[in-house]
Amino acid sequence: MTTAETAATGLPVRPGEEPWTVTELAEVQAELEAEATELRAETDQASAAIAGLLGGSVTEAGDDEADASSKVYEREHELAISNNARELLEQTEHALVRIAAGSYGVCESCGKPVGKARLLAFPRATLCVECKQRQERR
């Protein structure tokens, strides 16, 4: 058995699920790597936009309150987009690290399998459904 086969078949699955195949794991990894590349570009672009917005003062000569408010809103919007992209990038990179470490698919809360179906639908998942529901109720 190759290293890739051992890594794929060694990933935990929930009862009733088929074991991971090398192809499935490679597809998830490729998807995550592509997303990470896109998110890095997005965060770089957002950082440049924010830097441009911060280059001028909030109110410039001749701006009325509406113009100043519009600029503040635009700046806050860019910050929100940047923060969201940065958070998704962190989650994506964390998933890639877990794949490399062989811990992908293990719930970070209870240690049980996250579930292959869940990971195929949401590859960045780190919690099983039960732990995620418990987290959301808090």
Q: Where are the domains of the chain?
A: 3-137
Q: What is the pLDDT of residue 72?
A: 76
Q: Which of 90, 56, 88, 62 is nearest to 75 (CA)?
A: 56
CA angle 48, 37, 121 (to 5 degrees): 125
How far is it, in rounded angstroms, from Cα 105 to Cα 26? Answer: 14
**pTM, whole model, 2 decimals?**
0.79
Q: Compute and round to an integer the Cα radius of gyration of the chain.
A: 21
Residues in the chain, overall count: 138
Overall fold of domain 3-137: Four Helix Bundle (Hemerythrin (Met), subunit A) (1.20.120)
pLDDT tens digits, the chain, 138 residues: what are they? 565 666 787 899 999 999 999 999 999 999 999 999 999 998 888 878 777 766 655 555 566 777 777 777 887 887 888 889 999 999 999 999 999 999 999 999 999 999 999 999 999 999 999 999 999 998
